[in-house]
Chains A and B, each alone.
Chain A
Amino acid sequence: MTPTREQKIWMYEHMLVSRYLEEMIEEIYMEGKTPAFNMAAGPIPGEMHLSKGQEPCAVGVCVHLKPFDVVTATHRPHHIAVAKGVDLNKMTAEIFGKATGLSGGRGGHMHIFDPDVNFSCSGIIGQSVGPAVGAALSRKLQKKEGVAVAFLGEGAVNQGAFHEGLNLAAVWKLPVIFVIEDNGWGISVPKTASTAVEHNDIRAQAYGIPGHYVPGNNPLEIFRVAGEAIARARRGEGPSLIEIETLRMAGHFMGDAEQYRPKEELAMLKARDPIVAMRTYLMTVDKMSEAEDQEIVTRARKRAEAAIAFAKESPYPRGEEALEKVFV
């Protein structure tokens, strides 16, 4: 399965949208947080987990999905939300804690919920799995079209929820795909110190489902493997597990000095930027011209800028609105 030129451009553009949005968030996040870094200060308070470097996982999977398909994501959700078509303005407003945000400011960046495109996420490690399995079960029971995709980090695979969810999905042969974004680090703990196997695709065998490992953080390879797994699920042939080698270009969260991370690895980050690689690929293989690139870059940047402007201009909720929406 190979992507069309149009699909490749789509992937490239959505990687850019996510990256530009995060670069703008990164800059605004630091407002009010210097010289002393206090997480509570500034226009965007709280934890901020940037996804830069991991964009290929999001676009290579979500390019195969429709709005009716279900995606559950993690505490590091921006790139996946962008690729799944979450309303960018409302998502950004949510990240700023504004009344116009997806949840009126109740959720923030770790709790992005957009029912219009069946996207949700959780700040608790491994808790993307159960809800995706349940959504897949619901589609099967209702004979409704659609598959579910659970994104999780490589650190999450040592949670019970992962193993229980895989078994349940397998035994009930549900249309669900588990996508592990392996960035090599669970905060400060390297994968080698936390996980007993080198690659998690082997764990699929324990549940009798196909397992795939995708090295290289390459959107085209991810496209191929995810496309086959998703098609398989749509045919009613059951779940698959995919582990993708990806790259955490930032700290665990903003403010993380990453002293635990080898200097050689940090020095290599820029050279391993998947967006640069994708641009080079498109220019050489698909003959993308400088002018076409500029057009795409401008379009992506404008979308991000518009979302930031919307968020900035939006009002905050009133304090007492905290009491609303506990129940429907």
Chain B
Amino acid sequence: MTTVTSNVRKQTIARAMAEAIAQEMRADPRVFVMGEDIGQLGGVFGNTRGLFEEFGPERVRDTPISETAFIGAAVGAATDGMRPVVELMFVDFFGVCMDAIYNLMAKNTYFSGGKLSIPVVLMTATGGGYSDAGQHSQCLHATFAHLPGMKVVAPSNAYDAKGLMISAIRDDNPVIYLFHKALQGMGWLGTEPASIVHVPEEAYTVPIGKAATVREGRDVTIVGITSGVHHALKAAEQLDQKGVSAEVIDLRSLVPLDREHVINSVRKTGRLIVVDEDYQSYGVTGEIIASVVEADISMLKSPPKRVAYPDIPIPFSRPMEQWALPNPAKIVAAYESMVK
């Protein structure tokens, strides 16, 4: 077997996102970008780097700190034929602009009886683990996924990041695009090396609403999204040492949710663990488990388990935050408690 290293083009999620946006901007003059510090700075999280230089201030617009105004404006521009990509710097800032998101962006298609399309991509940074405390570290997966009318995607690696971004921009519906800071590939936030993968140069899509099996296994299904996928893969390695074969599913999208994919896996393994960095109650973990139980409870050999963030605001202090976060050891422990 020969290794063709010349074809490998490893990229960070940040770069993959920027490349996807640039390619769509070249192909479609209706695509433009708005947000705070997304111009000359290239985005606080690097995902618009190079766009300002290539497309200029008319199509890559730094905004005032006025999320209600520019996300509302994205809805208006999209309704009038543009395809805005807007950035809410931290997902935690949704509080100042949620009306524009869930009462306008998410509902205007429905209110218009399907006549209006609102092709907005709202990209926003999630996740903690680096001691940024409770207003800059949340995931809020369920907050967005709960509200009808918006698609929600969240990549765990650069390949999916590019493909999902292109799908999101081409989609005629609003898409919330969540990217996790620890996977972003910005050195100052630390970086999960497994999120940096080969990214083809040409434009391609990853379908919204399709999960992926990122590791095949027989004994237990571990489901995650963004950081949860990486914890699950590490846990699967550890379980493998103990002779346990774990299957890992990356949901990639929360809306639409690929329930069938999870159900088919659990039908094979009979056991289910769901990992989520978002708050546990009323969240993704509960939704996945409910979907499996509703489909066929008899395929479960043991009660399902969840490894999620406890129902507390995110603490600043490192020992408390690290204690609260999901990690591979908690997933392994969850499996062991299932088979005891």
**Interface on A for B, CB 8 Å cutoff?**
36-40, 45-47, 94, 97-98, 101, 104-111, 122-127, 155-156, 158-161, 186-189, 193-195, 255, 260, 316-323, 326
Contacts and interface: CB of A to CB of B under 8 A. Distances in A.
Contact of B96 (A160, A316, A317): A160
Nearest to B43: A188
A189 B190 contact: no
Interface string B121-153: 000000001111111100000000000000000
A322 B93 contact: no
Among B65, B135, B190, B311, find the residue whose CB has the most chain A CB atoms closer than 10 A: B65
B55 interface: no
Interface residues of B, number: 43
Among B133, B136, B187, find the residue whose CB has the most chain A CB atoms closer than 10 A: B133
B36 A186 contact: yes
A126 B41 CA distance: 22
Interface in B2-37: 36-37
B281 interface: no
Interface of B: 36-37, 39-41, 44, 62-66, 68-69, 92-93, 95-96, 129-136, 187-190, 310-313, 315-324
A156 B311 CA distance: 30
Contacts of B65: 125-126, 155-156, 158-159, 186, 194
Nearest to A94: B316
Contact of A124 (B93, B313, B319, B321): B93
B69 to A, nearest CB: 8
Contacts of A316: 317-319
Nearest to B182: A40
Contacts of A193: 62
Contacts of B133: 46, 106-108, 110-111, 123
B188 A255 contact: yes
B310 A323 contact: yes
A105 B135 CA distance: 14
Given A105-B320, A123-B136, 12 more contacts: A107-B134, A108-B131, A111-B135, A158-B65, A160-B96, A161-B96, A187-B41, A188-B37, A194-B64, A260-B41, A316-B317, A317-B319
17 contacts: A36-B187, A38-B188, A39-B188, A40-B189, A46-B316, A97-B319, A111-B133, A123-B135, A159-B96, A160-B66, A188-B62, A189-B64, A194-B63, A194-B65, A322-B312, A323-B310, A323-B312
Given A46-B132, A97-B316, A316-B318, A39 B96 contact: no
A209 B334 CA distance: 60
Nearest to B99: A160
Contacts of B318: 45, 97, 316
Contacts, number: 151
Contacts of A186: 36, 64-65
B316 A108 contact: yes
A105 B189 contact: no
A122 B319 contact: no
Nearest 9 pairs of A and B residues by beta carbon? A319-B323, A108-B316, A105-B317, A97-B317, A45-B131, A40-B130, A46-B131, A322-B320, A194-B64
Contacts of B323: 318-320, 322
Among A47, A106, A321, A322, find the residue whose CB has the most chain B CB atoms closer than 10 A: A322
A47 B312 CA distance: 21
Contact of B322 (A39, A187, A319, A323): A319
Contacts of A326: 311-313
Contact of A38 (B189, B310, B320): B189
Given A106-B315, A188-B41, A322 B130 contact: no
Among A189, A255, A321, find the residue whose CB has the most chain B CB atoms closer than 10 A: A189
A112 to B, nearest CB: 11
B218 to A, nearest CB: 34
Given A106-B317, A186-B64, A319 B324 contact: yes
B44 A260 contact: no
A318 B41 CA distance: 39
A220 to B, nearest CB: 31
A160 B68 contact: yes
A322 B315 contact: yes
Nearest to B130: A40
A122 to B, nearest CB: 7
Contact of B62 (A36, A109, A125, A189): A189
A39 B319 CA distance: 15
A122 B40 CA distance: 27
